């Protein structure tokens, strides 16, 4: 997405300085070990993946998912602070995509116990990167919306939610399911620290990027989110129907 028309359009709309994205990316690169991205491909390729957003529906969706034992059938991917709720429901996510503004204790704890973490560098989280990257004990990968470096990749996407989709789809999963991805007017309590003026605009942009990508992707995407707005190019189903689809 780096310096594409869409990237420049988004940074202008959200009043973001692109040099901040570049600086954060460089700092993240210097702090990270050189992990093999093949670990992500091995995790995701040809497997069903569930992406858990930070929307208000997350807890309701998690209750339905765990009641059906559905989490055991998927590679579970937590968007940022959604990892807190997954841990509460005794789900250790396989992957956590975060810009480190969610519950950092949960992010670090999950990583310590085996969750692979993709840290998204951008203009607004340089301090969090410098403060927290040395605290991770497990595998950490880098992602950016700016120009990539040898150990920080640009998968596409702009915020944690749509970037999670880009990362997962990059490795060609069997299918993708969204949970807790409301994209409505109410901000989920696990979205972390945010600017109350910029956040609604960034969510709108995130949804547009998400829908644009799915309109081009060949991957089938289902949505079991209980509330929020309809997401184009997804098939909305309930948990029993999803169980039937995947053969439980």
Q: How many structural domains is the chain composed of?
A: 1
Mean pLDDT of the region 213-238: 96
pTM of the model: 0.93
Residue 174 has pLDDT above 60, yes or no: yes
| Helices 18-31 and 5-13, packing angle to 10 deg | 110
Identify which of 32, 36, 78 has the alpha carbon closest to the alpha carbon of residue 55.
78
Q: Can you give the CATH number for the domain in which 127 is found?
A: 3.90.1480
Rounded Cα gap, residues 226 and 239, in angstroms: 10
Q: What is the DSSP string of 32-69?
A: S----THHHHHHHTTSEEEEE--STTHHHHHHHHHHTT
Query: In this structure, are residues 137 and 106 in contact, taking their beta carbons and an 8 Å threshold?
Result: no
Question: Domain range spanning residue 206?
Answer: 5-246
pLDDT digits (tens, 9 = 90+) for 13-32: 888 889 999 999 999 999 99
The pLDDT of residue 187: 53
Of 104, 98, 139, the residue nearest 121 (C-alpha): 98
The angle subtended at Cα 46 by Cα 40 and Cα 47, nearest 5°, is 75
Express each pLDDT in 124-145 by its tens digit: 999 999 999 999 999 999 999 9
pLDDT band at 4 (very low <50, low <70, confident <90, very high): confident
pLDDT of residue 247: 84
| pLDDT at residue 197, as a whole number | 47
d(CA 173, CA 21): 29
For residues 102 and 25, what is the distance between their CA atoms, to the nearest angstrom?
19
Task: Output the six-digit token pair for 1.
Answer: 């997405």
The model's pLDDT over 30-64, given as tens digits with 9 standing for 90+, comes to: 999 999 999 999 999 999 999 999 999 999 999 99
Query: What are the tokens at 13?
Result: 């709309």
Residue 214's pLDDT band (cuts 50, 70, 90):
very high
Give the mean pLDDT of the chain: 92
Q: Which pLDDT value is given to residue 2? A: 56
């Amino acid at each position: 997405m780096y310096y594409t028309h869409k990237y420049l359009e988004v940074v202008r709309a959200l009043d973001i300085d692109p040099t901040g994205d570049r600086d954060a990316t460089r700092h993240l690169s210097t702090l990270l070990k050189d992990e093999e991205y093949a670990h992500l491909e091995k995790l995701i390729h040809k497997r069903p993946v569930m992406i858990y957003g930070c929307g208000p529906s997350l807890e309701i969706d998690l209750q339905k998912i765990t009641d059906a034992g559905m989490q055991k059938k998927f590679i579970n991917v937590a968007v940022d602070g959604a990892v807190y709720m997954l841990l509460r429901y005794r789900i250790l996510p396989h992957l956590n995509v975060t810009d480190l503004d969610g519950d950092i204790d949960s992010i670090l704890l999950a990583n310590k116990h085996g969750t692979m973490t993709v840290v998204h560098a951008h203009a607004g989280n340089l301090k969090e990167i410098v403060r927290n990257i040395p605290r991770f004990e497990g595998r950490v990968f880098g992602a950016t919306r700016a120009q990539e470096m040898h150990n920080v990749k640009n998968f596409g996407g702009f915020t944690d939610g749509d970037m999670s989709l880009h990362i997962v789809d990059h490795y060609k999963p069997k299918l993708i399911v969204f949970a807790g991805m409301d994209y409505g007017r109410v901000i989920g309590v696990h979205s972390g620290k945010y600017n109350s003026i910029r956040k609604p605009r960034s969510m709108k942009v995130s949804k547009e990027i998400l829908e644009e990508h799915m309109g081009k992707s060949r991957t089938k995407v289902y949505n079991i989110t209980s509330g929020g707005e309809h997401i184009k190019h997804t098939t909305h189903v309930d948990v029993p129907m999803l169980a039937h689809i995947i053969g439980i």
